């Protein structure tokens, strides 16, 4: 037990649009926290705030604090690259680099200065095993990554995230482009990964949130309506709006 | 434009209606069993035994099947899930208590023309109380009335007190005159069945509270 990320009165604007309103939330270490809510409710904006990906949006302004291991991540002199190394992200569509499987994985460690081939081999094997992909690709590490199936590409991207040894992995709808079998492989993987990492996942698939997460937050129009244990949210939500959303009566 | 998931919401409402119908039929079995005993109405008793709750059994399976289909196809959560789970649980209680009604009718036939040891007073009272409790439980279910469901606790106490009284009385008869043992033990069984019916009504009430509030509470 322990709090990995603490969000305190966090607000975010895209120009005039108040996209996140006074968000307060504690994300527990080595747990899976799912963010659900209808399109445009701010859930992707929220997880992108956790590693300052929104910095890339020109009109974006923030107020309030996000503490990562007690460190305020919106501090002026914070090194955002170090932050993003520790808070990795996997996107909706698999986005492997147009290079070999091996090079996709070794790319991160190499730009961080690792040249030793043996060490790189080890990293490649270790992370591919961690991402449950090694058995499927170990005989074609030199093949282009774009030749893998969608599900394999997504696991490759997860492996690539793991190479820089993050503490937290953010998943932004990682399975929305995948078939059911690839989806269950990623879900199994997320369950394994939480032993070592803290995971935050945005998903439109409510059953997925129910299956894999320990905590669930329901967002609506930029606000957190309800945040609690996944069991409580899906068995007995306390807010009518949460109930209506998860039972499919709106949204 | 239709509200989202209109068919699904309708299916859940239909499900509740069918459970209510099963409740009515079960009450019929209980009420009929007690009535046949009090009036020594062997035709009624035979009818109850012959039908052996066939319609109730069929309905129970149909309701269960509908619950399974809803779970499989609609992935219900939150209150919808609690309603479906509650329906699946309470149909078992309804089935059991209706069987107890049949058992009472069987004993009526077994006792036949033999006179009761004494005029029946507390057993009819227990019968009335058990039927009332079942009514309350089913009304609480359909109207989602938590207070009405909670009210069954008090009635359960009454039913328990009546049961203890009937038993004590029957034991006294048996001690005084062993010739009464057969009929006294039959009546004792009936009192026991009625107490069980009251217990099942309490189970239903507890399920209703969970269905509405999501919280577990003991009733009775």
Contact yes or no for B80 and A247 at CB 8 A: yes
Evaluate whether residue A251 is within a structural domain.
no
For testing contact with chain B, the best of A180, A205, A230, A235 (most B CBs within 10 A): A235
The residues facing A238 across adjacent strands are none
Contacts of A247 in chain B (CB under 8 A): 5, 76-80
Evaluate whether residue A81 is within a structural domain.
yes
> Which domain does A112 fall in, by range?
3-246
Å between A236 CA and nearest CA of chain B? 5
Å between B13 CA and nearest CA of chain A? 15
Q: Three-class SS of residue A162?
A: helix
Give me chain A's average pLDDT, please: 94
CB-hemisphere CA count at 13 Å for B185? 6
Contact yes or no for A207 and B76 at CB 8 A: no
Contact yes or no for B79 and A249 at CB 8 A: no
Evaluate whether residue A107 is within a structural domain.
yes
pTM of the model as a whole = 0.83
pLDDT, tens digit, 9 for 90 and up, residues B140-198: 999 999 999 999 999 999 999 999 999 999 999 999 999 999 999 999 999 999 999 99
For chain B, the domains span: 6-213
- Under DSSP, the state recorded for A100 is B
Q: What is the per-residue pLDDT for A220?
A: 96
What total number of domains does chain A contain?
A: 1
CA distance A240 to A249: 11
Residue in the structure block whose two tokens are 């997925």: A208
- Residue in B3, B5, B81 nearest the CB of A235: B81
Output the CA–CA distances (angstroms, integers) from residue A119 to A53, A116, A133, in the order listed.
30, 5, 19
Contacts of A234 in chain B (CB under 8 A): 77-78, 81
Q: What is the per-residue pLDDT for B1?
A: 53
Contacts of B5 in chain A (CB under 8 A): 247-249
Q: What is the pLDDT averaged over residues A203-232?
A: 95
The residues facing A111 across adjacent strands are none
Q: Three-class SS of residue B205?
A: helix
CATH code, domain with A230: 3.40.50.300
Calculate the CA dihedral of residues B198, B199, B200, B204 and round it to 10 degrees: 100
Q: Percent of chain B at pLDDT above 90?
A: 90
Q: What is the per-residue pLDDT for B158?
A: 97
Which residue of chain A is at minimal alpha-carbon distance from B2? A249
Å between B101 CA and nearest CA of chain A? 35
CATH class, domain B6-213, is mainly alpha
Contacts of B76 in chain A (CB under 8 A): 247
CB B38 within 8 A of CB A208: no
Output the CA–CA distances (angstroms, integers) from residue A179 to A37, A38, A187, B90, in the order listed.
22, 22, 12, 38
Contacts of A231 in chain B (CB under 8 A): none
CB B84 within 8 A of CB B15: yes
Q: Is A112 on the interface with B (CB under 8 A)?
A: no
Å between A156 CA and nearest CA of chain B? 31
pLDDT-wise least confident of A184-188, B60-64, B132-136: A184-188
Evaluate whether residue A235 is within a structural domain.
yes
pLDDT, tens digit, 9 for 90 and up, residues A57-107: 999 999 999 999 999 999 988 999 999 999 999 999 999 999 999 999 999
pLDDT band at residue A251 using 50, 70 and 90 as cut-offs: low
ipTM given for this complex: 0.73
Reply yes or no on whether the pLDDT at B72 is more than 70: yes
Alpha-helix runs per DSSP H in A115-198? 117-130, 134-137, 150-162, 180-193
Contact yes or no for A247 and B77 at CB 8 A: yes
CA distance B87 to A117: 63
Reply yes or no on whether the pLDDT at A14 is more than 60: yes
Contacts of B77 in chain A (CB under 8 A): 206, 210, 234-235, 246-247
Å between B205 CA and nearest CA of chain A? 18
């Amino acid at each position: 037990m322990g709090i990995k990320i603490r969000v305190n009165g966090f607000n975010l604007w895209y120009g005039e649009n108040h996209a996140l309103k006074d968000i307060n939330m504690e994300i527990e270490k080595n747990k899976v926290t799912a963010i659900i809510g209808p399109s445009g409710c701010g859930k992707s904006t929220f997880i992108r705030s956790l590693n300052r990906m929104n910095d890339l949006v020109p009109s974006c302004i923030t107020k309030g604090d996000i503490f990562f291991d007690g460190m305020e991540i919106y501090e002026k002199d914070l090194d955002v690259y170090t932050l993003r190394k520790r808070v990795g992200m996997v996107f909706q569509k698999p986005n492997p680099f147009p290079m070999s499987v091996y090079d996709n994985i070794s790319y991160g460690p190499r730009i961080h200065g690792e040249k030793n081939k043996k060490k790189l081999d080890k990293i490649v094997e270790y992370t591919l095993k961690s991402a449950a992909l090694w058995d499927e690709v170990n005989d074609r590490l030199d093949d282009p990554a774009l030749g893998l199936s969608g599900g394999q590409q997504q696991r490759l991207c997860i492996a690539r995230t793991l190479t820089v040894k993050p503490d937290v992995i953010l998943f932004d709808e990682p399975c929305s482009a995948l078939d059911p079998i690839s989806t269950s492989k990623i879900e199994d993987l997320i369950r394994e990964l939480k032993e070592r990492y803290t995971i935050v996942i945005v998903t439109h698939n409510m059953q997925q949130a129910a299956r894999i997460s320990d905590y669930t937050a329901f967002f609506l129009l930029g606000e957190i309506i309800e945040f609690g244990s996944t069991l409580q949210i899906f068995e007995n939500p306390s807010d009518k709006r949460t109930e209506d959303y998860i039972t499919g009566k709106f949204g | 434009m239709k509200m989202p998931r209109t068919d699904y919401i309708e299916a859940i409402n239909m499900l509740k209606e069918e459970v209510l119908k099963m409740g009515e039929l079960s009450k019929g079995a209980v009420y009929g069993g007690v009535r046949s005993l009090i009036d020594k109405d062997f035709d009624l008793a035979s009818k109850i035994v012959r039908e052996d709750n066939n319609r109730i059994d069929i309905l129970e399976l149909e309701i269960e099947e509908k619950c399974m289909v809803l779970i499989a196809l609609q992935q219900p959560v939150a209150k919808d899930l609690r309603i479906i789970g509650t329906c699946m649980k309470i149909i078992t209680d309804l089935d059991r208590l209706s069987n107890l009604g049949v058992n009472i009718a069987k004993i009526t036939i077994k006792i036949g023309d033999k006179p009761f040891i004494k005029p029946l007073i507390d057993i009819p009272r227990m019968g009335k109380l058990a039927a009332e409790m079942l009514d309350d439980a089913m009304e609480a279910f359909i109207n989602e009335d938590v207070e009405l469901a909670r009210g069954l606790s008090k009635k359960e106490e009454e039913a328990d007190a009546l049961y203890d009284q009937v038993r004590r009385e029957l034991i006294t008869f048996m001690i005084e005159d062993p010739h009464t043992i057969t009929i006294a033990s039959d009546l004792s069984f009936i009192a026991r069945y009625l107490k069980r019916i009251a217990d099942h009504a309490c189970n239903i009430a507890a399920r209703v509270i969970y269905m509405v509030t999501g919280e577990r509470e003991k009733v009775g």
